[in-house]
Amino acid sequence: MSTVTISAQDINKLRQMTGAGMMDCRKALTETNGDFEAAIDWLRKQGQKVAAKRGDREAKEGVVIAKTTADNKTGIVVCVSCETDFVSKNADFVAFGQSIADAAIANNVNSLEELMNSKAGAATVAELVNDKLAAIGEKIGVTKFERIDAAYVASYIHGAYRIGVLVGMDKEAAEAGKDVAMQIAALNPVAVDAASVPAEVIARERDIIMELMRQDPKMAGKPDEMLSKIAEGKMGAFFKEQTLTAQAFVKDQSKTVADYLKESGNVTVTSFKRVALG
């Protein structure tokens, strides 16, 4: 039995993350001692269709800015968070986010810590954030920073600065870069292809598939060795849905992203980053 106190705020947070019911969220958090990532997996193992874990759920409101250097060899994406959409939609706050992205480009920064200590005019970014916090009267911060270096980097901002995407490619291909970035914004793949899916993600998905099969009355009595073979087949569907190049191309469902990239001059996507407001 869990010894962790599960608050209504915790339950609501998990509900917002997954779309699951309040009682299910309470049960999941209780069973996992308040561990949100484990609670999401617990819900999935019960057969619930919940949102997969992603690293882009940290900021409720704010702006996400994606930008590249003039030569398109480097791209950065930053998330500047705030508490309310009233502030995030303000033109001055958007300009503030742009100025932080400009500082990241101008100072060639490689990390969030480096960005906060870099200069934006006469002050550091950290000092500017503190000044803006005092002026606005609500908590703000630079909560995400990502960078890509490649032969060519495309950047894309989706919606009202809600999602920022960077796509690294092996050659210049501006149109393909934009199209692929839009694909990533819309479908949020976990990796470029099956070979680049982290081992821990594969292990977690296989574990969830195995648990669901064990709970299926039709699979009762079947040995784990047989279930494991079936799970390998089911992982194929996961790779098709969750890896970029295997996904159906959003602008033409008759082809995959891999097909589109081949038609666009045998372009290879080397990496991508996606940052979104929660």
Least reliable range by pLDDT among 44-53, 152-161, 177-186: 44-53
Question: For position 60, what pLDDT does the model report?
Answer: 77
Q: Which residues pair with 80 in a beta bridge?
A: 63, 142
pTM, two decimals, is 0.77
pLDDT confidence band for 272 (50 / 70 / 90) = very high
Percent of the chain with pLDDT over 70: 95
What's the average model confidence in pLDDT over 221-246? 88
* Assigned fold of 1-53: Helicase, Ruva Protein; domain 3 (1.10.8)
Question: For position 3, what pLDDT does the model report?
Answer: 64
Residue ranges per structural domain of the chain: 1-53, 61-164
Question: For position 65, what pLDDT does the model report?
Answer: 98
3-state secondary structure 75-128: EEEEEEEECCHHHHCCHHHHHHHHHHHHHHHHCCCCCHHHHHHCEECCEEHHHH
Question: For position 59, what pLDDT does the model report?
Answer: 47
pLDDT confidence band for 113 (50 / 70 / 90) = very high
Q: How far is CA 159 from CA 54, 119, 156, 167, 177, in A?
A: 19, 29, 10, 18, 17
Question: For position 211, what pLDDT does the model report?
Answer: 85
Q: How many CB atoms lie within 10 A of CB 244?
A: 23
Percent of the chain with pLDDT over 90: 63
CATH superfamily for domain 61-164? Elongation factor Ts, dimerisation domain (3.30.479.20)
- Ramachandran quadrant class, 19 (left: phi over 0; alpha: psi -120 to 50; beta: rest): left
3-state secondary structure the chain: CCCCCCCHHHHHHHHHHHCCCHHHHHHHHHHCCCCHHHHHHHHHHCCCCCCCCCCCCCCCEEEEEEEECCCCCEEEEEEEEECCHHHHCCHHHHHHHHHHHHHHHHCCCCCHHHHHHCEECCEEHHHHHHHHHHHHCCCCEEEEEEEEECCEEEEEEECCCCEEEEEEECCCCHHHHHHHHHHHHHHCCCECCHHHCCHHHHHHHHHHHHHHHHHCHHHCCCCHHHHHHHHHHHHHHHHHHHEHHHCEECCEEEEEHHHHHHHCCCCCEEEEEEEECC
Of 258 and 35, the structure prediction assigns the larger pLDDT to 258
pLDDT confidence band for 55 (50 / 70 / 90) = very low
Least reliable range by pLDDT among 135-144, 203-212, 215-224: 215-224
pLDDT confidence band for 212 (50 / 70 / 90) = confident
Question: For position 164, what pLDDT does the model report?
Answer: 97
Residue 58 has pLDDT above 60, yes or no: no
- Ramachandran quadrant class, 121 (left: phi over 0; alpha: psi -120 to 50; beta: rest): left
Mean pLDDT of the chain: 90
Q: Are 82 and 139 in contact (CB under 8 A)?
A: yes
Q: How far is CA 244 from CA 67, 240, 278, in A?
A: 21, 8, 21
